[in-house]
Structure 1
């Protein structure tokens, strides 16, 4: 008892002590199960705000490999006039990256290039042309503006599903206009699956409110999948901060969903 009384003098509560034990750090390689598939990253060279060159791409992948990730369904932005990446351009960069990895001796790293599509007019045009790069089978990764959702969001989601695709909404925790609302449940009812950004679990990256929302959605079981959303070396470094027993336990169902749905074995 005297220990906790003394700790209270420093503003530390019994709960803090308990959570400190529960949040015991683990080696980052222990966080990810063998065979984990990262379904959100920006590792292709020079085509969006991620890797800047083929050397940078290989460097990022090598750093992630050291943390226990070797399977990547990477997702460059396709965003209106900002990142006008075509399916052809993306696949050309995929080929370039695969060649570079093999030349470096990385025969055990798996790469598949899809895309992260902004839900805008350009995306609607691509959807109408059936020019969509899937993560695997019917799944596509989509995102929204951080300022507001598309005015015709319900119609876009409907059209995606009419075309036979299943939309996975990237990092819903980062859309502040949905915080403290019932809109998340409505999106799931509309057919959206949710993908958590791993780095949303630490306030250093996106802020305390995003972290709070991420944990709230996680505890409610609203996420189906998880991704790193790695763009650069600092993102890779920050993955280390997530590695504790509490997060591993909470994330394991999502890790398993990624592996079951996006495995390279089938």
Structure 2
């Protein structure tokens, strides 16, 4: 499906063809709503940058982490409308949508208990994360409840949980219960450390990833994306049919 190579080569690999992905399904480009873009001007700069890389559609996924970012469908929709109007005014040729990145905490359990609608991508896919400091508690119970309500859990940047270097079987368990996996592209660049790169290679070799996301927060991420090349993937990695971004 994908030929994620372009004819332009770097010294260590061919330039990455973001245009073949078409859709970035994980970013923090809505202004002043989480730890991503602080204002509308920055949002427009980031959106222009992603459009120049070749993306045709961006799905903003602000954090819903109740201790820090108390985002709701209403607050997210308000910012989405603001950005859409600004993008149209500026003549930027790209589609903008929004969902959320849910931190699995008591608030999410409450939403599920009340059967309040979660924000999704591609119909029923719910992006989730949990603590990067310590292993999750009762995560499987929460994910089971999501699935019982018709959602497909998407485990975002699973490679960033460095403590799982000592417990890689956890990933097998997440796959067995039906989770979709999303790789942060910059995890392959060393942006998050050697252990994260090691885990991303491990999961790529197991063919666990279904989606690629930028997890774009700021201009430094954008600069790194511009330098990204295929030589950062494991040697011999085959792209054909691996990722479903352009089917979202």
Fold equivalence (TM over 0.5): yes
Q: Please say which structure displays the higher CA radius of gyration.
A: 1
Could you tell me whether the CA contact under 8 Å between 2:212 and 2:243 is conserved in 1? no
Q: 2:14 aligns with which of 3, 14, 26?
A: 26
Shift of 1:256: 4.1
250 and 57 in structure 1: CA distance in 2 versus 1, 3 angstrom threshold? farther
Q: Which runs of 4+ in 1 moved over 6 A?
A: none
1:158 aligns with 144
Choose 96-105 or 189-198, whichever is displaced more.
189-198
Shift of 1:24: 3.7
Q: 1:230 aligns with which of 205, 216, 227?
A: 216
Per-residue CA distance 1:133-190 (angstroms, 9 max, x = gap): 1012110100011012331111101101001000001100011221142111011112
- Superposed, which structure 2 residues align to 1:139-158 within 5 Å? 139-158=125-144
Could you tell me whether the CA contact under 8 Å between 1:23 and 1:246 is conserved in 2? no
1:36 aligns with 22
**Structure 2 CA distance for aligned equivalents of residues 115 and 217 of structure 1:** 24
- Superposed, which structure 2 residues align to 1:74-113 within 5 Å? 74-106=60-92, 108-113=93-98
Per-residue CA distance 1:19-53 (angstroms, 9 max, x = gap): xx99743345xx22346111110000000000010
Shift of 1:251: 7.2
1:119 aligns with 104
Could you tell me whether the CA contact under 8 Å between 2:210 and 2:243 is conserved in 1? no
Shift of 1:61: 0.7
2:3 aligns with none
Could you tell me whether the CA contact under 8 Å between 2:209 and 2:242 is conserved in 1? no
1:240 aligns with 226
**Structure 2 CA distance for aligned equivalents of residues 22 and 109 of structure 1:** 27
**Structure 2 CA distance for aligned equivalents of residues 89 and 70 of structure 1:** 24
Could you tell me whether the CA contact under 8 Å between 1:73 and 1:112 is conserved in 2? yes
Question: CA RMSD of the aligned region, Å?
Answer: 2.1
**Structure 2 CA distance for aligned equivalents of residues 188 and 146 of structure 1:** 19
Per-residue CA distance 1:112-153 (angstroms, 9 max, x = gap): 110000011111112233231101211010001101233111
**Structure 1 CA distance for aligned equivalents of residues 87 and 242 of structure 2:** 25
**Structure 2 CA distance for aligned equivalents of residues 149 and 255 of structure 1:** 28
**Structure 1 CA distance for aligned equivalents of residues 197 and 42 of structure 2:** 28
Could you tell me whether the CA contact under 8 Å between 1:25 and 1:245 is conserved in 2? yes
**Structure 1 CA distance for aligned equivalents of residues 231 and 43 of structure 2:** 30
52 and 246 in structure 1: CA distance in 2 versus 1, 3 angstrom threshold? closer
**Structure 1 CA distance for aligned equivalents of residues 116 and 238 of structure 2:** 33
2:177 aligns with 190
1:257 aligns with 244
Could you tell me whether the CA contact under 8 Å between 1:171 and 1:195 is conserved in 2? yes
Could you tell me whether the CA contact under 8 Å between 2:119 and 2:126 is conserved in 1? yes
Could you tell me whether the CA contact under 8 Å between 2:76 and 2:98 is conserved in 1? yes
Q: 1:200 aligns with which of 187, 197, 216?
A: 187
Could you tell me whether the CA contact under 8 Å between 1:33 and 1:255 is conserved in 2? no
Could you tell me whether the CA contact under 8 Å between 1:142 and 1:168 is conserved in 2? yes
